[in-house]
Amino acid sequence: MRRAGLPYLLLLPAVLFELLVHVVPMLTGIYMSFKHLTEFFIRNWSAAPAAGLDNYRFALDFNGAIGRQLLQSFWTTCAFTVLTVCLSWLLGTGAAVLMQDPFRGRGLLRTYFLVPYALPAYTAAITWEFMFQRDTGLVNTLLVHDLHLFKTAPFWLIGGNSFWALLITAVWRTWPFAFLVVTAGLQNIPGDLYEAAALDGAGTWQRIRSITLPQLRSVNQVLVLVLFLWNFNDFNTPYTLFGNVPPPQANLISVQIYDTSFQNWNFGSGSAMSVLLLLFLLVVTAVYLLLTNRRRKTDA
């Protein structure tokens, strides 16, 4: 009986810190979303008048300027996230599989690939911001002056191209994580599976399809989810690239919430949007886990 309690005792500090770092701010955020918390009350939150469901009504009023913008940024964020996750996963898995067999310089190359992941988000994004500048950026120097692909230099940080600039930066930042996780997953695949397959005459592509990918399934299940959640919530990349007023074409939902909270000084409304985002991500995660787990059970 006493031994049964020990794991819980050992978990206690972690649980307490989890409460402190995540759960308490989360609950505060939910509480704030039911308040008219504007600049008049930021010094004394508890004095802010109750808002009922006003903040939610207002965020979901798609005829109003704010609701419309929120909806638009939601779709932009969905497109951005799906593309980022797919590309990052493809690049990461591709690179990891190519580096599965030892060759000279493999360690060096692996380290090199991880550099974007090791760089602080701000440093990485600000470098891209410099590169994407129209007149002085490296990208246009290459595309316009060296390769002569465009007659007039395109804009990357404003207008329609800003979405692609954001995507490129995000993929560049996240794919090494996919590479790292898949590389780790590959270590766990027993070598004799490949040997047996080779004896049966399976080609490279067949080995990848029949051994590598199925064996990586549980790793991929977590990886895709984590990549999705990270990118859906990403704030650093768009904020560093575009500042506090992102172009409408690359307006991600996290920046939209930030703008509502910190630019328009309406923390109640910003919190309501955060809660809606949280609910959405919870539903997505639950459905995803249900589907992937059920499939694994039926497969097993």
Partner 1 sequence: MRSSRPALLTLAVATALLASACSSSGGSGSGGGSVAGTTLTYWASDQGGSIAQDVKVLTPELNAFTKQTGIKVKLEVIGWNDLLNRILAAASSGQGPDLVNIGNTWSASLQATGAFLPINDDVMKQINGTGRFLPGALAATGAPGQPPVGVPIYSMAYGLYYNKAMFQAAGITQPPTTWDEFVADGKKLTKGGQWGVSVEAAQTPENAHHAFTFAKQQGGSFYDSSGKPTFDTPQNVAGIKQYVDFMAADKIANPSDAEYSNGTEAVKDFATGKAAMLLWQSADATLAQYGMQPSQYGVAPVPFNAAAPSGANHVDSIVAGINLSIFANTKHKDAAIQFMKFMTSQQAQTDLNKEYSSLPSVSDAYGDPAFQTTTVKTLQSVLANSAAPMPAVATESQFETVIGAAVQNLFADAAAGKPVTDQSVAAQLDQAQQKLQAGG
Give the interface with partner 1 as residue ranges (CB under 8 A): 18, 22-23, 25-26, 29-30, 38-40, 42-43, 45, 58, 64-66, 133-135, 153, 155, 157-160, 218-219, 221-222, 225-226, 229-230, 232-233, 235, 243-245, 247-248, 254, 257-258, 261-266, 269, 274-275, 277-278, 281-282, 285, 289, 293, 296-297, 300
**What is d(CA 158, CA 187) in angstroms, rounded to the nearest whole number?**
43
Q: CB within 8 A of 241, min separation 6: which ones? A: 125, 128, 129, 132, 157, 162, 165, 166, 169, 250
Tell the smallest beta-carbon distance from residue 112 to partner 1 (Å).
Answer: 27
Q: Which CB atom, from 23 or from 149, has the smaller least distance to partner 1?
A: 23
Token pair in block for residue 174: 């996240």
Q: Which CB atom, from 202 or from 229, has the smaller least distance to partner 1?
A: 229
Tell the smallest beta-carbon distance from residue 89 to partner 1 (Å).
Answer: 16
Q: Which CB atom, from 149 or from 282, has the smaller least distance to partner 1?
A: 282
Q: Is 159 exposed, middle or buried (0-12, 13-18, 19+ CB in 10 A)?
A: middle
Q: Which CB atom, from 88 or from 254, has the smaller least distance to partner 1?
A: 254
Q: Which CB atom, from 19 or from 142, has the smaller least distance to partner 1?
A: 19
Tell the smallest beta-carbon distance from residue 192 to partner 1 (Å).
Answer: 19
**What is d(CA 240, CA 10) in angstroms, rounded to the nearest whole number?**
40
Q: Which CB atom, from 99 or from 173, has the smaller least distance to partner 1?
A: 173
DSSP annotation of 35: B
Tell the smallest beta-carbon distance from residue 236 to partner 1 (Å).
Answer: 10
**What is d(CA 236, CA 122) in angstroms, rounded to the nearest whole number?**
7
Tell the smallest beta-carbon distance from residue 108 to partner 1 (Å).
Answer: 30
Distance of CA 228 to the CA centre of its chain: 5
The H or E element containing residue 229 is: helix 217-232
Tell the smallest beta-carbon distance from residue 174 to partner 1 (Å).
Answer: 14
Alpha carbons within 13 A on the beta-carbon side of 148: 0
